[in-house]
Amino acid sequence: MADLSIIVSEIELKLRKLIDEKNQLAVENKRLTEENATLDQENLTLRRSVEELQDKINKSTIVNALDNEGEVEEGRKLIKELVREIDRCVSILNSKE
């Protein structure tokens, strides 16, 4: 009978440890989920910033190319490239529908 009591006590101890570990993992999971959401938002913000800066660079390049009359052909090439990129974006958007 004493052996049975010891076995039950050991099982109770192991269950308590498992419950504590489960609770710790739940807290860590919640923290990581929140961190992931924060990083996703930061990633989105940075992507938007990159897009805006790329747009500014493209506009500046076009203005600079068109200001120099000797570089009109380069400006035309750049505009054609931008139009192709727009066409690719439109086709991607149409394919997702």
State pLDDT tens for residues 11-61.
999 999 999 999 999 999 999 999 999 999 999 999 999 999 998 888 887
State pLDDT tens for residues 87-96.
888 888 888 6
pLDDT (average), residues 66-84: 76
Concatenated DSSP letters for 59-70?
HHHHHHHHHSGG
Domain edges within the chain: 2-96
pLDDT at 33: 96
pLDDT confidence of 75, banded at 50, 70, 90? Answer: confident
The model carries a pTM of: 0.53
